[in-house]
Amino acid sequence: MSNSIRNVEAKKLSLDGDLDLECGQTLSNIDIVYETYGDLNSEASNAILICHALSGNHHAAGTYDDEDRPGWWDSLIGPGKAIDTEKFFVVCPNNIGGCHGSTGPSSINKETNETYGPDFPIITVQDWVKCQSMISDSLGIKIWHAVVGGSLGGMQALEWSRLFPKRIKKAGIVAAAPKLSAQNIAFNEVARQAIINDPDFESGRYLEKNKSPKKGLGLARMIGHITYLSEEAMRSKFGRELKEDKLNFGFDAEFEIESYLRYQGDVFSESFDANTYLLMTKILDYFDPAEKFNGNLSMAFQEIEAQVMVISFSTDWRFSPDRSKEIVNALIEAKKNVSYLEIESPHGHDSFLFADKDYVNGLSSFLEN
């Protein structure tokens, strides 16, 4: 892209302290891979933390020296973009549990010298946010100007505003929900079973056996993809178009949508770790800040001091506008500073990745004013 940052480089840091997890276990020797864009000002007051979603990573924007494909949120992060790197110092870490360099299931456990694999503890959004606060300390950032994320990333931004109210000025919560619905959990469970049932999963110890449950992981990704796209987007993109002119009366992919999904599944299964995928779906399922407050979401929001913007998209059926409004209404009930933007967009849940004009303007004015 013409206005993408060039020659981005991933950085690495090792956290000093241990991280006590919600599950009761402790994680030590944590490595974090991250990227930064723009410059930190002398007061360290212009830093924005980007939180990635299920299959995301630290490569949020720009291009590497040796690769043309820009980061996953390059449409929104860069010079003059919604999250303007000429004004802000933008930080995006790969979360722990991930598979792109930060400590996760495919890392070596330095205490045992063996790959974590299925023994990697189940992480929660709260654990991630605590870990990100340790990253903030390492980088010398006491207060984030903003924490922003879409989908599972939005849940982290919300949790930041709850857990560290003094360390965050603005929270940008995009295409998120205050907790998963039974249907959301159901889709995650089918994805997990697809992975676990793959004989190459080997109870999660596939790396030791030089295997990879690619078919199961591909299937999980196909299921996910259906929920990311709106029915409308699928219709306009694929309709009932056939790859060839006529029906072949067999089980090879013949409708365009079939080829597309198989391709997406194949590509994903080559580059993503199955144990990480399992973990990410579980993190989503567990997220429910109201749970400790007898289901009362506004009570869960009592400590929030940040200015919050919630953004949803008209055709998102994974986390629909109604789900985002649950967050907004609970913030209003708790008398917090919240604004809400509902964007007309045809792209379903994936809309948060597209630089729609209203979305860009809304987010940039929220961050800059």
Q: Which residues are marked as active site? A: 151, 316, 349
Which bin fits 295, alpha (ψ -120 to 50), beta or left (φ > 0)? left
Q: Does 130 bind a second copy (CB under 8 A)?
A: no
Q: What is the size of the binding site for a second copy (CB under 8 A)?
A: 54
- Pick between residue 119 and residue 342 the one whose CB is nearest to a second copy: 119
Which residue of 12, 69, 110, 235 would you call a contact of a second copy, by CB under 8 A? Answer: 235
3-state secondary structure of 239: coil
Say if residues 31 and 56 touch (Cβ distance below 8 Å).
no
- Residue (of 93, 79, 95, 82) closest to 39 by Cα position: 79
- Whole-angstrom Cα distance, residue 150 to residue 247? 40
Which residue of 194, 310, 311, 343 would you call a contact of a second copy, by CB under 8 A? Answer: 194
How many of the other CB atoms lie within 10 Å of CB of 133?
18
Backbone φ and ψ for 36, nearest 5 degrees, come out as: -130, 150
Q: Does 278 bind a second copy (CB under 8 A)?
A: yes
Q: Does 226 bind a second copy (CB under 8 A)?
A: yes
Helical ranges in the chain per DSSP H: 125-139, 152-163, 182-197, 214-228, 231-237, 256-271, 274-286, 297-300, 321-333, 357-368
Tell me the window of 46-54, 179-187, 296-304, 308-316 that interacts with a second copy (CB under 8 A). 179-187
The alpha carbon dihedral of 291, 295, 298, 299 has a sign of: negative
In the complex, least distance from residue 324 CB atom to a second copy, rounded to whole angstroms: 15
- Whole-angstrom Cα distance, residue 329 to residue 318? 19
Q: Does 293 bind a second copy (CB under 8 A)?
A: no
- Helices (H) and strands (E) in the chain — how many of each? 10, 14
Q: Does 143 bind a second copy (CB under 8 A)?
A: no
- Whole-angstrom Cα distance, residue 18 to residue 77? 31
Tell me the window of 128-136, 143-151, 182-190, 324-332 that interacts with a second copy (CB under 8 A). 182-190
Tell me the window of 35-43, 46-54, 69-77, 193-201 that interacts with a second copy (CB under 8 A). 193-201
In the complex, least distance from residue 289 CB atom to a second copy, rounded to whole angstroms: 13
Tell me the window of 18-26, 54-62, 89-97, 146-154 that interacts with a second copy (CB under 8 A). 18-26
Binding residues vs a second copy (CB under 8 A): 22-24, 121-122, 179-183, 185-187, 189-190, 192-194, 196-199, 215-216, 218-219, 222-223, 225-226, 229, 231, 234-235, 237-240, 247, 249-251, 253, 255, 257-258, 261-262, 265, 278, 282, 285-286, 288
